[in-house]
Amino acid sequence: MKQIHVGMLGCGTVGTGVARILLERADLIRARLGADLVLKRVADIDLTRDRGVRFGKGVLVDDASVVLEDPDIRIVVETIGGETVAKDLILRCLAAKKHVVTANKALLASQGNELFSEAMKYGVDLAFEASTGGCMPVIKTLREALVGNRIEEMIGILNGTCNYILTKITEDGSPFEKALADAQQKGYAEADPTLDVEGFDAAHKLAILTALAYGMQINLADIYVEGISRITPMDIEYAREFGYNIKLLAISKDRGDRIEARIHPTMIPFDNLLSSVRGPLNALTFTCDAAGDILIYGRGAGMMPTASAVVADIVDLARNLLHDSGGRVPMLSFQPEHIRNIPVLPMAEITTRYYFRIAAQDRPGVLSAVSGILGDYDISIKSVHQKGRKTNGSVPIVMITHWAKEADVQKALAEIASLDVVGDAPVLIRIEDDNEA
Amino acid sequence: MKQIHVGMLGCGTVGTGVARILLERADLIRARLGADLVLKRVADIDLTRDRGVRFGKGVLVDDASVVLEDPDIRIVVETIGGETVAKDLILRCLAAKKHVVTANKALLASQGNELFSEAMKYGVDLAFEASTGGCMPVIKTLREALVGNRIEEMIGILNGTCNYILTKITEDGSPFEKALADAQQKGYAEADPTLDVEGFDAAHKLAILTALAYGMQINLADIYVEGISRITPMDIEYAREFGYNIKLLAISKDRGDRIEARIHPTMIPFDNLLSSVRGPLNALTFTCDAAGDILIYGRGAGMMPTASAVVADIVDLARNLLHDSGGRVPMLSFQPEHIRNIPVLPMAEITTRYYFRIAAQDRPGVLSAVSGILGDYDISIKSVHQKGRKTNGSVPIVMITHWAKEADVQKALAEIASLDVVGDAPVLIRIEDDNEA
């Protein structure tokens, strides 16, 4: 039986999951691959912790060089995380002509262009299914299953922490802080939840997906990012009265010579399948010219789901090694000479539909003043409700607009905020509603 | 630029869709593949019909031999359908060492073992993503993305005709016949709808998926198949009162040394994502030991969605040709020597939960007689409602059971049917409810 030797850098949660699959499912993988995947060396600074995995003698080492310098090892799994040590070690692996598997979305989103270019230089593959959407095969689907399709848009729930918190607010009416505390207690949110709740983690994933979908460089800096920390039970309740749930959506659309790429809380109709994705689950819809809508749903994080995707990448690379077919699928989905610099549309220039909540004094003429300003900016109202309940001495006016331009909306809301009769800053939540396209 | 020559046998709906993608998206495919896919010959008996596709001179021919005998053609797409001519031509392609792409689920489900064995004999690939779930990458997901997972079960909506009809009954309260007529009028059902509404089409797909998931021979004959033609608006309404929708589900479960594989109308809870799959859409959930649940959703039929999957297969095979890596992924997911004969559990031996509707006379003692019989067969009732409304002079008793064995249920229902106080044959609908596992 042929053997493919695998090394691992970092054996924390995901690394342990990968080791567990490689060891405990060795028979199953052999039956499918037709070769043995041998986990030869695992480097981690902690040699003593009980990971619940029985490594063979000498497998676990505390020196990454042992992995890097082992000539038998053709595939290295990077499960260290972070952007400094991980990057340095990946570069050394690539230079040593070892194929690399990583789940490191932050690193790929910020420095992927350099890493992929190095991998190409050395003629090896850098595989990253686990970086985006945990166990969901979104990279494979984009690069292979949809290869005959123009990708028109991608809309997804790519952060389980946010989706858990929003589900909790929706179903229990908890305020954000309470829902966050609950997520932390259940292990769905980190002690410092910023990366997740402010949308950065979802932005990392969207940066990677956007590059692959449209054949462009990875461009994290131009993605608009807005988190969920200001979402209130009140807005969720009003959204539901309009037939919408609020989700943190990653949205990317092909606008011809420009790309939209943005992360923000978004209202979507109940009959959109994304609306039914509850708790820490993730999902991503690809809208394509031939296939139509394809949605993939699953666990976007966690030890074993992420390990599942890492192992799929290892086996893919092992298949390439067994058939000497490295580089069979281009890493960024397009051949390098076809990767362009497509600009991301500035947020001010997008058009979409909006929900506003305006805290107004309960006086005659307020609605007329507000709608007058909206009219001045060409924003037409689809539906408006003046709510009976006073909050902080004012009565909320909630409204849904027809399609409008973000720049106009921002200017109009600033003007509305400056009205004497308007209290707190107006709340804006964008809407994705295909039923009203 | 390298060229890969493709031939096509049959240019009906799906074939035309494939031709359209290959011709109209040639630039996009080249940018991804790094080679040109040249559709060199298309054989169809109808040379005159306007397909809206501009074939080059001499491409469209009326003789399949022209495709079979062209030495440049390395990949042949079979889009004829049926089980006689298509089989014969596929066998001739394989013998000529041409790789084959097919969407022919009926042929694969009934004679796939022979075809795959022939393909192996000649060292070529037989690709079939489009046979199961249209554009949804279910075959790729099973064979590649889930390669490190033991598949525990698969539950899917694999027939769009049935799902459209059931959605129509659910949302409009139409009887089956009216919903079917509507589906036929909209093009979602054939003039003879038997293959779809009686569950056979879904069984073909489940036979293929089951083989790939568990590493077994394709075994269509042992799949239990029950269609939707007896589903009434009344049962759908009662199901909803219990918190369930009714879907035609394809269900396959690993029971260790046996496999469950069955197609039947099934109640599933509203919070199962499959419950929200409306109209002609399809979806499939894989339950796996590492990844947990992964669901893929999309269009399971139709010209362009099916063509999308065919083109994905063509590109996969072209990548193998460019890298000389044929046979890189085993066709049936497992290496041939690991494919076993795992028996399918006879339907009588499955255990699940049940919904019964019993037409009983509105007399004292009826419920006691019915529940006495159920008790005799060890079937315990979770919930029972005696409905106020008379239908055909009797009052429906509806009940939901705890887990019970199919054989016991069938015997108990036969006994209940023979009671003097019971009218029409009792209705049985199975339930899949993870919340009550």
The string of pLDDT tens digits covering residues B199-244 is 999 999 999 999 999 999 999 999 999 999 999 999 999 999 999 9
**Within a 10 A sphere around the Cβ of B185, how many other Cβ atoms?**
9
First to last CA, chain B: 57
pLDDT above 90 as % of chain A:
94
Cβ distance A142 to A334 under 8 Å?
Answer: no
With an 8 Å Cβ cutoff, are A31 and B215 in contact? yes
**Protein fold of B347-436:** Alpha-Beta Plaits (3.30.70)
Q: Rg of chain A over CA atoms, in angstroms?
A: 24
**Which of B254, B247, B296, B235 minimizes the C-alpha distance to B275?**
B247
Strand pairing of B259-269 and B224-225? parallel
Nearest residue of chain B to residue A305 (CA atoms) = B291
- Token pair for A234: 């009140």
Helix B160-172 to helix B233-241 angle (10° resolution) is 80
Contact A76/B at CB under 8 A: no
Facing residue for A335 by CB, picked from B34, B140, B293: B34
Question: Which DSSP state fits B338?
Answer: G
Domain boundaries, chain B: 3-134+303-338, 138-299, 347-436
Say what the pLDDT of residue B365 is: 87
Contact B147/A at CB under 8 A: yes
Contact A353/B at CB under 8 A: no
Q: How confident is the model at residue A362 (pLDDT cuts 50, 70, 90)?
A: confident
CA dihedral B419, B420, B425, B429 (to 10 degrees): -50
Contact A288/B at CB under 8 A: yes
With an 8 Å Cβ cutoff, are B323 and A319 in contact? no
Contact A137/B at CB under 8 A: yes
**B136 to chain A: which residues are within 8 Å by CB?**
294
Strand pairing of B73-78 and B99-102? parallel
**Which of B205, B247, B405, B411 is flagged as catalytic?**
B205
Identify the CATH number of the domain defined by range A348-436.
3.30.70.260
CB neighbours of A235 closer than 8 A, spacing ≥ 6? A246, A355, A357, A427, A429
3-state helix, strand, coil in chain A (%, to 5): 40, 25, 35
How far does CA B234 lie from the centroid of its chain? 26
Tens of pLDDT, residues A260-275: 999 999 999 999 999 9
How far does the CA of residue A396 sit from the closest CA of chain B (Å)? 32
Facing residue for B135 by CB, picked from A215, A292, A298: A292
With an 8 Å Cβ cutoff, are A273 and B277 in contact? yes
The distance between the two most distant Cα atoms of chain B, rounded to a whole number of Å, is 83
Say what the pLDDT of residue B262 is: 98
Does residue A424 surpass a pLDDT of 90?
no
CB neighbours of B409 closer than 8 A, spacing ≥ 6? B354, B377, B379, B401, B428
Q: Which of residues 195 through 254 in chain B touch A, CB cutoff 8 A?
A: 215
Q: Between the CA of residue B413 and those of A282, A382, B397, B427, what are the distances in Å? A: 42, 55, 13, 9
Tens of pLDDT, residues A90-139: 999 999 999 999 999 999 999 999 999 999 999 999 999 999 999 999 99
Contact B31/A at CB under 8 A: yes
With an 8 Å Cβ cutoff, are B28 and A129 in contact? no
**Which of A264, A271, A189 minimizes the C-alpha distance to B277?**
A271
- Token pair for B410: 């069938």
DSSP string computed for B30-86: HHHHSSEEEEEEEE-S-SSS--S--PPTTTEES-HHHHHT-TTEEEEEE---SSSHH
Q: Which of B144, B272, B287 to probe by mutation at the A interface, max A CB count within 10 Å? A: B144
Chains A, B: CB pairs < 8 Å:
223
**Protein fold of A138-299:** Dihydrodipicolinate Reductase; domain 2 (3.30.360)
Q: How confident is the model at residue B424 (pLDDT cuts 50, 70, 90)?
A: confident
Contact A128/B at CB under 8 A: no
Facing residue for B307 by CB, picked from A215, A278, A290: A290
Task: Work out the angle at residue A157's Cα, subtended by the Cα atoms of residues A153 and A162, and round it to the nearest 5 degrees.
Answer: 145
Task: Indicate the CATH number of B3-134+303-338 among 3.30.420.40, 2.60.40.1730, 3.40.50.720, 2.40.30.30.
Answer: 3.40.50.720
Active site residue B387: no
Provide the ipTM.
0.96
Facing residue for B148 by CB, picked from A308, A329, A330: A308
Say what the pLDDT of residue A199 is: 98
Nearest residue of chain B to residue A19 (CA atoms) = B148
- Token pair for A404: 């409008």
Facing residue for B32 by CB, picked from A147, A277, A312: A147
**Which of B185, B172, B167 minimizes the C-alpha distance to B228?**
B167
**Which of A433, A77, A128 minimizes the C-alpha distance to A274?**
A433
Tens of pLDDT, residues A151-163: 999 999 999 999 9
- Token pair for A29: 């993988």
Tens of pLDDT, residues A26-77: 999 999 999 999 999 999 999 999 999 999 999 999 999 999 999 999 999 9
